[in-house]
């Protein structure tokens, strides 16, 4: 059995621990909540349990669909065993519906469905406000090669197809979501981080009620209940 050892890294939502296997780490999910690059902070009771549950479930579904991820197994309510990755400092955002910053940048009303998904890249730098980058920027700054960017874009599109179908069958609209990728010990690019109400915009398909982190960002209330509702749907059976 893989044993947890020293803390490797603590982020805004998770703590990563090294193990006695140099190719494996343990990812621990916290209840801490942040928004606006850490400017807004609070605690959402039970969030870590919910995000670990949904992430483990969705990583399993993606693995079955042929998407390679860092997920190995669920260890406890708040912990998952993962393949150790060197994270590529890019957030890969896929959008199916206009919302959030896209609405502000484009002037298009929130809630307008896009004719086709949009994939965007953001530089993982809180001190810079995670600026959006073009593929030319990424190549020029040597963040990733052109082939790697192509791999990330195609992976995001496939993941979007799998997740949209899964969510739709459970009464949810996958509005947009953020992915992170990294290289394992062999250099292979794998999906990392998490997939949860923290990293996805999820709306009820009928009422368009928000069941995600926007409830925290926008002080909408019912945060814990909405996260739990989303998790129960995501991890439950498809609706008839």
Domain end call among 27, 59, 85: 85
Same domain, residue pair 230 and 135: yes
Pairing label, strands 14-19, 24-29: antiparallel
Q: Are both 40 and 22 inside the same structural domain? A: yes
Could you tell me what percent of the chain has a pLDDT over 70? 98
- CATH classification of the domain holding 225: 3.30.470.20
For residue 186, the enclosing domain spans: 87-235
Residue 240 lies in a domain: no
State whether 112 and 204 are in the same domain.
yes
- Same domain? 28 vs 106: no
Say what the pLDDT of residue 240 is: 55
What stretches in the chain show pLDDT beneath 50?
none
| Residue 64, CA distances (Å) to 60, 61, 157, 166, 176 in order | 6, 5, 16, 13, 22
Q: 169 and 97 in one domain?
A: yes
pTM of the model: 0.94
Compute CA distances 192 → 114, 134, 156, 162, 170, whole Å. Answer: 26, 22, 12, 16, 24
- The H or E element spanning position 235 is helix 223-235
175 part of a folded domain? yes
Q: Would 80 be classed as within a structural domain?
A: yes
Kindly state whether residue 226 falls inside one of the protein's structural domains.
Answer: yes
Q: Does residue 14 form part of some domain?
A: yes
Indicate whether 124 and 140 sit together in one domain: yes
In a domain, 71, yes or no: yes
107 and 42: one domain?
Answer: no
Residues 131 and 77 in one domain: no
Q: Do 115 and 105 share a structural domain?
A: yes
Domain boundary among 59, 85, 111: 85
Q: How many separate domains does the chain show? A: 2
Checking DSSP bridges between strand 86-87 and strand 4-10, what pairing results, if any?
unpaired
- Together in a domain, 49 and 157: no
Radius of gyration of the chain (CA): 17
Structure confidence at residue 158 (pLDDT): 98
The CATH number covering residue 24 comes to 3.30.200.20
Give the end of a domain, one of 52, 85, 118: 85
At 165 the pLDDT is 98
The per-residue pLDDT for range 75-129, each reduced to its tens digit, is: 999 999 999 999 999 999 999 999 999 999 999 999 999 999 999 999 999 889 9
Please give the pLDDT value at position 1.
63
12 and 24 fall within a common domain: yes
Q: Are 63 and 97 found together in one domain?
A: no
């Amino acid at each position: 059995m893989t044993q947890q050892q020293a803390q490797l890294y603590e982020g805004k939502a998770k703590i990563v621990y090294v193990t006695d296997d140099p190719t494996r780490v343990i990812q621990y999910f916290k209840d801490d909540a942040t928004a606006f690059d850490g400017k807004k902070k609070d605690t959402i009771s039970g969030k870590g349990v919910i995000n670990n549950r949904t992430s483990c479930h969705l990583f399993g579904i993606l693995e079955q669909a042929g998407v390679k991820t860092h997920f190995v197994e669920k260890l406890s309510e708040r912990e998952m065993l993962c393949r150790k990755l060197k994270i590529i400092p890019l957030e890969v955002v896929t959008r199916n519906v206009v919302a959030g910053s896209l609405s502000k940048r484009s002037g298009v009303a929130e809630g307008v469905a896009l004719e086709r998904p949009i994939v965007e890249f953001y530089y993982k730098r809180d001190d810079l406000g995670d600026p959006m980058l073009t593929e030319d920027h990424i190549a020029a700054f040597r963040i990733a090669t052109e082939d790697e960017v192509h791999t990330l874009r195609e992976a995001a599109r496939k993941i979007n197809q799998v997740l949209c179908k899964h969510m739709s069958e459970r009464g949810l609209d996958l509005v947009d979501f953020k992915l992170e990728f990294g290289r394992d010990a062999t250099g292979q690019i794998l999906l990392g981080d998490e997939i949860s109400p923290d990293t996805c915009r999820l709306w009820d398909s009928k009422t368009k009620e928000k069941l995600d982190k926007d409830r925290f960002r926008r002080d909408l209330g019912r945060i814990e209940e909405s996260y739990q509702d989303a998790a129960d749907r995501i991890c439950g059976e498809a609706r008839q």
